[in-house]
Chains A and B, each alone.
Chain A
Amino acid sequence: MQSILYPGGIPLWRNVVFIQWVVQIISAIVVIAIVSGFIFNVATEIQDREIPFGFNFLDDAAQIPIGESVIQYDPSQSYLYGFSVAALNTIKASVLGVIIATSLGIVIGVSRLSRNWLLSRLALVYIETFRNIPLLIQLLFWFLIILELPNVREGYILFDAFYLNNSGFYMPWTTPLSGFWPWAILSLIGLGGGILAFNFLAKREIVTGKPSYPIIVGFAIFIVVTIIGLFIFTPLELVVPERQEGPFGRLQGGARWSGSFFALLIGLVVYTSAFIAEIVRAGIQAVNRGQTEAARALGLHTNASLRWVIFPQALRVIIPPLISQYLNLTKNSSLAAAIGYPDLVSVSTTMTQIAPAISLIGMVMATYLAMSLFYSLVGNIYNRVTRYAGVG
C-alpha cells in the first residue's frame, strides 16, 4: 500500500480496515456489557432476594379457574395445559380480530377515497376517532356498553336458540361425533377437487374467452361433497343452548361468545381497522395515476380497474405495514385482562400466585414472540409471492 500523502505506509489511525474493526469491537463490547449487566442483575437479585425461579411447576395441577376456553379445561389439569388454554384464547381473539379488522379496514380505506363526499367524510371521522383514543379506554367503553344489556334471565331470545344478554351471545353449535374425521377427510378431498376445477376453468376462461364460472363451480363442488358427507357419516351433533334449572338461569350448551370476548373483539377490530384503513389508502394512492388512466383506456370500469389493476400493485405497499398492524393487534389483546377475558396475560397473572412469576412472564413473552414471528413469517412469504416477478 503506497500512498503519496503517507510514503511510509498508511498509519493505523487512517487505516479504514482498522477503524472499522475498532468501531465494531467497541459496539460489540458495549452491547455485551449492557446485556450481561442485565442478566447478571436479574440473576443476582433472584439469588439475593430468594425469588423462586424454575419450570418444575408446569406439571402440577393449576387449580385456577378459567372462565372460557376453546378446549375443555378443568382446574385439576396442569399449569402447562392451563397456559395452553389461555394461549388458545389469545390466538382466538387475535386470529378473528385480524380477519375482521382487515376486511373492515379495506372497506373503510377504499371508502375514504370514494368520490361520494358523505362516504369519504364518514370514513375520515371513523378513522380519526378510533385511531386517536387509547385502546384500553375503548375496551372499557365497549365492555360497559355490553353490561348495559339486560341480564341473562331477561335478555333477548330468537327462535329459542339464539340468546343475547350482558353475559354474551349464545347460539347453537355442533359437537363432533365418531363420524367427524372421515367426514373431515372427505371434505378435504372435496376442497382439493374444487381447487382443481377452479384452476382448470379459470385457465379455460382465459384461453377461450368463454365465461366458465370457475369460482362458482369450484365452490359448488366443495359444498356438495361436504353436504353429501354430512348424510353419509353424521359427523356432527347440533347442540342448542338451554336454560339451566335453579335461580341463576344461566345457559348451557352450544357456543357462547362472552361479553368480555365481544368487547375485546370489537375494541381490537375497531381500533386496528382504523389504522389498516389508512394503510390501504396509502397503498392505493401510492399506485401511479397512469395505471388508473391506462385501465380506463382499456375500457375497464371502476370496480374492475380497482380489482385487477390498482389493488394488486397496492398490495405490495400495503403488506409490510399491514403485518405490523397484525402484530400490534395480537399484542394489544393482552389488555383483555382489564375486561375479564381470560387471555394469556390474565391467566398467567393468576398463576403467579403460586407459580414463580419470572418463569411465567418469560413464558408469556416467548409465546407472544412466537405468535408475532409466525405472523411475520406468513406475511413475508405472502410478500415474496406477490412482489414483481424478476425483482430481487
Chain B
Amino acid sequence: MNKKLLIGILATVSVFAVAFSACTSDDGPTDADLQNAQATTSAAQSALSAANARADAAEASADEAMKMADEAKMMADEAMMEETGGRLAQVQERGTLICASRNDVPGYGALDGSGRNVGFDIDLCRAVATAVLGDPEAIEIQYITAAERGPTIQSGEVDLLVRTVTWTTSRDAQWGNYAQTMFYDGQGFMVPADLGVTSAYELSGAAVCVTSGTTTELNMADFFRQNAMEYNPQVFEDTDIVLSSYESGACDVFTNDRSQLAALRTSLQNPADHVILPETISEEPLGPVVPHGDDQWFDIVKTVMSGLIYAEGYGINSGNVSAKASGDDVKAKRLLGTEGTIGQESLGLSETFMQDVINAVGNYGEIYDRNLGPDGIDLPREGGRNALWSDAPCSDCPKGGQIYAAPLR
C-alpha cells in the first residue's frame, strides 16, 4: 500500500474521532428524561478518554494509562451526578409523578365509572404527588403485571412502585427500598364452596391457579412441599385469566393475598359460592417502593406515609385541616407545618406539604375506608392488623393493630 494512502486514511480517522468526541462533549442534556441517554454519552466519553489515555501512553507505562482511564471515568461519572440532580428535582421539573401500579383489582388499583384511577395504592401515589408537586392529579400511572414490578423499579423508570408489593428481603436487596408497610396481608386460598373443603391442609391433589411473578407463587410452592401435598400449579400473567380459569373449574383453587381474594371474589358471578379458607400461609406486608440510590427521595416517601398514619392518630382529616393548622394541638400543628418541623427543609418539601396531602387524599383511615373499608371492598379493619397501634392518640379510631410509622419530629 502506498504511503500517501495510508497517511490519508489515518488523517481521516483522526478527524472523524475528533468530530465524534466534539459531538459527545456538547452540553449535557437538561431534561431529566434524558438520563439514560446521558449515561450512554458519558460512557462513550470515558471510553474515548480511555482510548486517548492509552494512545498517550505510547511512551508512558501501561499502569499510568490505566490510571488516566480510571480518572477520566470518575470525572465523567461525577459530572453526570452533578448535572442530573436527585429524583425530587427530576419529578418537579417533569411536573408529574410516575407510579407503577395496576387497574385490575378493586380496592387497590382499578378504574371507576369515569375512567379515573382509584384505589388504595393509587391514593398513596396521589399523596406523594401532592407532597412534591402540590397536585393529586399530577400522576402518571403505568399499569404493569406482577412480574414486571422488579425490572420496572430496578431500571428507575418510575418514581414509585405501589402495586400490592410484598416486602421481602431479596426484593429489598434487589428491587428498591421499601418505604413503609401500609397494609398487612397474608396469603390464603379460595375454593368453590360445593367442593366441601374446609382447610388448606385438605388441598392435596388440587390444581391451583396463581399469578406469575408473585410471592404468592413461591409461598404456594413452599406450603405444598412442606406439607408433602401433591398439587398442579397453573401460573398465569394476568389476574383476569386467573379468574377465568378458576371460575371455569380448570383449576380448583385460587391463591392470592387474602385481601385480594376478598376483592376479586366480588367480581365473580356468585361470590357466595366461593369460600376463603381460614389458613393464612404467609406474611405479606405491602407498601410503596422507591428505586435504589436516592436517599432523599426514599426519605420523602417515608415521611409522607408517616404523615398519613399520624394524621389519623392526631384526628386530622380532610375536613378539619385548616382548623387543626391553627388550633392548639402542638403535634398536629407540627405535622401540618404551622409550628416546628418534621424535616421538611432537609427533604426539600414545603413547610405545609402535609396540609395539601390531607386536603387531597385524607388521612390513612380515610384512604382505607374509601378503598378497602366500608366504601370499598369492605375488609374489616377493627381488631385486625391494619388498625392503628394500641395507644394511638386518637379517640375513635380503630386500635390494636400494627399500622405504625416513624414519629414525626
Whose C-beta in chain A lies nearest to the C-beta of B38? Answer: A41
Question: A64 in the interface, Cβ–Cβ < 8 Å?
Answer: yes
Whether the Cβ atoms of B233 and A12 lie closer than 8 Å is no
Query: Which of A45, A260, A353 is within 8 Å of B234, CB to CB?
Result: A260
Query: Which of A49, A151, A246, A346 is within 8 Å of B293, CB to CB?
Result: A49
Whether the Cβ atoms of B16 and A37 lie closer than 8 Å is no
Whether the Cβ atoms of A259 and B250 lie closer than 8 Å is yes
* Cα distance, A247 to B225, chains bound together (Å): 20
In the complex, 15 of the A-B residue pairs with CB atoms within 8 angstroms, ordered by the A residue number, are A37-B43, A48-B39, A65-B220, A67-B232, A75-B221, A144-B244, A147-B248, A152-B249, A167-B251, A245-B205, A338-B237, A340-B241, A346-B237, A349-B147, A353-B147
Could you mark each residue 317-358 of chain A with 1 if its beta carbon is under 8 Å from any beta carbon of chain B, else 0? 000000000000000000001111010001001101110110
Chain B contacts to A: CB under 8 angstroms: 4-5, 8-9, 12-13, 16-17, 20, 36, 39-40, 42-44, 46-47, 77, 147, 150-151, 154-156, 170-171, 173-174, 195-197, 202, 204-207, 210, 212-215, 217-218, 220-222, 224-225, 231-238, 241, 244-245, 248-252, 291-293
Closest CB in chain B relative to A207 CB, distance in Å: 59
Whether the Cβ atoms of B8 and A18 lie closer than 8 Å is yes
Closest CB in chain B relative to A327 CB, distance in Å: 24
Whether the Cβ atoms of A247 and B249 lie closer than 8 Å is no
Question: A55 in the interface, Cβ–Cβ < 8 Å?
Answer: no
Closest CB in chain A relative to B281 CB, distance in Å: 14
* Cα distance, A32 to B22, chains bound together (Å): 17
Q: Which residues of A contact B222 (CB under 8 A)?
A: 63
Q: Which residues of A contact B210 (CB under 8 A)?
A: 65
Whether the Cβ atoms of B39 and A18 lie closer than 8 Å is no
Could you mark each residue 164-202 of chain A with 1 if its beta carbon is under 8 Å from any beta carbon of chain B, else 0? 001100000000000000000000000000000000000
Whether the Cβ atoms of B212 and A350 lie closer than 8 Å is yes
Whether the Cβ atoms of A51 and B250 lie closer than 8 Å is no
Whether the Cβ atoms of B233 and A66 lie closer than 8 Å is yes
Q: Contacts A65-B221, A339-B241 known; A350 to B174 CB distance under 8 Å?
A: no
Whether the Cβ atoms of A12 and B4 lie closer than 8 Å is yes
Question: A288 in the interface, Cβ–Cβ < 8 Å?
Answer: no
Closest CB in chain B relative to A367 CB, distance in Å: 18
Q: Which residues of A contact B173 (CB under 8 A)?
A: 52
Whose C-beta in chain A lies nearest to the C-beta of B251? Answer: A167
Whether the Cβ atoms of A21 and B9 lie closer than 8 Å is yes
Question: A71 in the interface, Cβ–Cβ < 8 Å?
Answer: no
Query: Which of B13, B147, B195 is within 8 Å of A247, CB to CB?
Result: B195
Secondary structure class of chain B's binding surface, majority of residues: helix
Q: Which residues of B contact A33 (CB under 8 A)?
A: 20, 44
Q: Contacts A26-B16, A350-B212 known; A167 to B207 CB distance under 8 Å?
A: yes
Q: Which residues of A contact B205 (CB under 8 A)?
A: 244-246, 248, 250
Q: Which residues from 34 to 80 on chain A have a C-beta closer than 8 Å to any C-beta of chain B?
A: 36-38, 40-41, 43-45, 48-52, 63-68, 75-76
Query: Which of B8, B9, B20, B238 is within 8 Å of A338, CB to CB?
Result: B238
Could you mark each residue 12-37 of chain A with 1 if its beta carbon is under 8 Å from any beta carbon of chain B, else 0? 10010110011001100100010011
Whether the Cβ atoms of A49 and B154 lie closer than 8 Å is yes
Whether the Cβ atoms of A342 and B204 lie closer than 8 Å is no
Q: Contacts A18-B8, A353-B218 known; A166 to B293 CB distance under 8 Å?
A: no
Q: Which residues of A contact B156 (CB under 8 A)?
A: 49
* Cα distance, A44 to B40, chains bound together (Å): 9
Whether the Cβ atoms of A350 and B215 lie closer than 8 Å is no
* Cα distance, A41 to B13, chains bound together (Å): 24
Whether the Cβ atoms of A151 and B250 lie closer than 8 Å is yes
Whether the Cβ atoms of B40 and A246 lie closer than 8 Å is no
* Cα distance, A154 to B206, chains bound together (Å): 15
Query: Which of B5, B207, B221, B232 is within 8 Å of A18, CB to CB?
Result: B5
* Cα distance, A246 to B222, chains bound together (Å): 22
Whether the Cβ atoms of A65 and B233 lie closer than 8 Å is yes
Interface centre among A49, A248, A339, A356 (most CB of B within 10 A): A248
* Cα distance, A340 to B241, chains bound together (Å): 9
Whether the Cβ atoms of A44 and B8 lie closer than 8 Å is no
Instruction: Knowing that A12-B4, A33-B20, A44-B42 touch, tell me 17 more A-B residue pairs with CB under 8 angstroms.
Output: A17-B5, A33-B44, A50-B293, A63-B221, A64-B221, A147-B244, A151-B250, A246-B202, A248-B207, A250-B205, A250-B207, A259-B250, A337-B236, A338-B241, A346-B237, A352-B150, A353-B217
